[in-house]
Amino acid sequence: MKLIESINYIYDKQAQSFEEMKGAFVVTEENDPQTTFKKLTVHKKGCQFFVVKPPFYTGISATTSDRSSVLKDSSCDGIAISETDGYYTFYFIELKSRFREATIRKAFTQIFFSFIKMHMMLGLSHGYKPEKSIFDFFVACSPPENQDRTTEIMHWIQLYEEKNMDDVIIKCIKEFFFGKKKYSCIVRDMNFADMKHFNENFQNIQVRLNIYTPGTFKQTEGLLEL
């Protein structure tokens, strides 16, 4: 993959930043011992994934939070890249235990700032064209534990709609329950920062927000079929 070759050349001191996987890759949660949903396998038959190793995009506060109160050095649990017909797909994945609005919002925030860090670093790389790429943000967590929890979620979705609150996280959760299980928007709509100060091309990058849950609340692992 030419993009990977370019990244390896530019960031040559960050040796072996990518691991090539055929057909599937695995994301695990190892930093939080209280997390009950611990492993997600992402599968797509015949797909060649390049999994980004965490040291490439974590612990780079010198270019984010050390210099900015806006840019956070937050990181998601896993990032991978694939290529199909000249188009790149970037997968950003965060695992959480509970299906809560606040938890899902936090997960997408971690993904968003991981995306910003990758975008900043890849901007120098040959072949990186955000307008011709797909950016999939996945939050994987346990489903609501019972019908009462589901009813509660439905209630606050209704409250947001009654107040005409334009919130992409609520829209994503609604899509999970009622629609196609994913929600598309542009970066500007995510509102994790005051986006008017960011480059216009960056603001207009298209992203897709996805929520994945396994079949039952007690499952600690899941399989995501792309």
HSE-CB for 165 with a 13 A CA cutoff? 14
Q: How many domains, in total, are found in the chain? A: 1
Look up the domain containing 20 and give its range. Answer: 2-225
What is the rounded average pLDDT for all residues in the chain?
A: 91
How are beta strands 87-95 and 133-140 bridged, if at all? parallel
Lowest pLDDT segment from 22-31, 88-97, 162-171? 162-171
Nearest to 206 by CA among 138, 139, 133: 133
Interior angle at CA 42, CA 39 and CA 44, nearest 5: 160
Mean predicted confidence (pLDDT) in 91-108: 94
What SS3 state is found at 38?
coil
